[in-house]
Structure 1
Amino acid sequence: MIDRIVPDWPSPANVRAMFTTRNVGRVTTEKRAYTGLNLAVHVDDNPHVVQLNRNQLRQYLPDHPRWLTQVHGSRAIWVDSDSEALEGDAAMSRYPGVVCAVLVADCLPVLLCDMAGSVVGVAHAGWRGLAKGIIENTVQALREFSHSDQIIAWLGPAISSQHFEVGDEVRTTFTEYDCQAARAFFPGKEKGKWYADLFELARQRLSHAGVSQIYGGNLCTYSNPEKFYSYRRDGKTGRMAGLLWMTQFPDK
């Protein structure tokens, strides 16, 4: 059995979600940085072992995940066609059994669904993606096909503000968009450095997009090396996954 986190949020009965941790999975003895359930093929791990890990994960899902080529951008794409060329930073679906997925190791996975259970999506939201509008773009796209105006969100594990130090340019990028973003930054150890709160920045962007029901946002990847991979902590490391799907079409 793999270790996984099931979001605590009031999603419709036909919506399922999970977040994987690094626990269990195959062990690459020659590459200790990836020990556990690494699901990423782009981080120099043994491809065969990654595939074995993905096979383990598949046992908990209705279909294989629609893995994206993530670029820290703002593109949200529908993954229902199962194309081989899925480049973007948010995956969305309108059909049962389609597993939306993003890979993370400090960046914030934002899981989204409407209260009718008619659309689901998951966004990869690091600071670059947040600044470029990945959350707003995803919510807007979901609303175009939603049977309900009410979208809810769950914020998965990510690096917390105590460990995420950035420069002036990052803070300026957010505060120029919204002066209230200053609440998400705290003075760093040196002049021109700030600790950034990804969870707060995401909540602000969700609020701008009209999403008021926001859950999660209290698990730090950096401070728990036994459970989570963290790029900022380890540099060379694996990736975990935020996954979301519908089991059936919503009731009429």
Structure 2
Amino acid sequence: MTVSCAWASEAAAMIECLAAPNLSARHGFLGRTGGVSSGPYASLNVGLGSGDDPAAVAENRRRAVGAIAAGARLVTLRQVHSAACVEASEWAEGQRPEADALVSRKPGLLLGILTADCAPVLFEDQVAGVIGAAHAGWRGALSGVLEATVRAMERLGADRRRVAAAIGPAIGPLSYEVGPEFRQRFETEDSASAPFFRAGPRGRPHFDLPGYCAARLRRAGVGHVVDLGLDTCSETARFFSYRRATRARAADCGRQLSGIALASAGG
């Protein structure tokens, strides 16, 4: 189940902002529409490391913040497919730490994750006033980025039994064909991963990344887990997809933003 973000600013009306039913903090999972970029980046590309016009990316990021939490300060990471999680601070864009998750209890910060098939996961303990955001590709999910996020939230006062987690748009199992060596690595490193592989139409395994992420969260004791069930690869007009771009032999693709923020004292 998804709903539109009721808190989106009027200026961001052209942006599709999806909300999860189990999160109360201002948050949103955005797609690719409502921005100013063109070509393979059309139109709401927020990827600082892409080959897009930097001015267009800056405007897209401004619009994205308006759609999710107008007035908040966006903080993002140099995502490296790791299990590293850091506490968010108001670092400059050029000083973004290498990590794949961040947590905070500071109002006014919008914790942002960029994806184009990997799973964006947003977290909240409403009682403790602690939030988190994680970039969970297969490497990060397998190496424990989700569990690292929960532990970091607990250091700020959260209780994992109260934590709500929402998995946003990611490549779905019908689109995610992998090789046998991929499956073997998972089953060697995580014996509980076998149910998340199934035979595809060409006889090769397909992997359910969102389902795997949800299972890891539940195994970690997270109290409330929701998967929005949206496939970035199959919904061409709605989301950026690295897998789809690779199939089309495109040199690059855009990135969409997912984020969560605690309201500031006046907001």
What is the TM-score with the length of structure 2 in the denominator?
A: 0.85
Aligned CA distance change for structure 1 residues 4 and 86 (closer, same or farther; 3 Å) = farther
Deviation for aligned residue 1:131: 0.7
Which residue in 1 is equivalent to 2:17?
5
Q: Please point out which of 72, 77, 97 is paired with 1:86.
A: 97
Q: Please point out which of 75, 89, 92 is paired with 2:84.
A: 75
Q: Please point out which of 12, 16, 36 is paired with 2:43.
A: 36
Deviation for aligned residue 1:67: 1.5
SS at match of 1:165: coil
Which residue in 1 is equivalent to 2:254?
238
Q: Which residue identity does 2:261 align to in structure 1?
A: W
Deviation for aligned residue 1:194: 1.2
Q: Which residue identity does 1:20 align to in structure 2?
A: L
Deviation for aligned residue 1:182: 0.7
What is the TM-score with the length of structure 1 in the denominator?
A: 0.90
Which residue in 2 is equivalent to 1:225?
236
Deviation for aligned residue 1:217: 3.2
Is the contact made by 1:4 and 1:18 (CA closer than 8 Å) also made in structure 2?
no
Q: Please point out which of 45, 65, 90 is paired with 2:52.
A: 45
CA distance in 1, matches of 2:18, 2:152: 25
Q: Please point out which of 10, 14, 26 is paired with 2:36.
A: 26
SS at match of 2:19: coil
Q: Which residue identity does 2:131 align to in structure 1?
A: V
CA distance in 2, matches of 1:221, 1:114: 27
Q: Which residue identity does 2:263 align to in structure 1?
A: T
CA distance in 2, matches of 1:212, 1:147: 12
Is the contact made by 1:101 and 1:122 (CA closer than 8 Å) also made in structure 2?
yes
CA distance in 1, matches of 2:153, 2:186: 24
CA RMSD, 1 decimal: 1.8
CA distance in 2, matches of 1:212, 1:176: 27
Mark the runs of 5 or more structure 2 residues left unpaired by the alignment: 1-12, 247-251
Percent of aligned pairs with the same residue?
A: 32
Instruction: Tell me if 1:140 matches 2:156.
Output: no
Which digits, 9 at most, give the CA deviation of each residue in 1:4-56, with x for residues without a partner? Answer: 333232334xx11011111121033xxx1111100002121111211121222
SS at match of 1:166: coil
CA distance in 1, matches of 2:197, 2:106: 39
Instruction: Tell me if 1:168 matches 2:180.
Output: yes
Which residue in 1 is equivalent to 2:193?
181
Mark the runs of 5 or more structure 1 residues left unpaired by the alignment: none
Q: Please point out which of 7, 27, 51 is paired with 1:17.
A: 27
CA distance in 1, matches of 2:220, 2:88: 22
Structure 1 window deviating more from structure 2 (120-129 vs 234-243): it is 234-243
Q: Which residue identity does 1:25 align to in structure 2?
A: G
CA distance in 1, matches of 2:150, 2:158: 13
Which digits, 9 at most, give the CA deviation of each residue in 1:188-225, with x for residues without a partner? Answer: 4556x310001111011101211141113311111111
Q: Which runs of 4+ in 1 moved over 4 A?
A: none
Q: Which residue identity does 2:166 align to in structure 1?
A: W
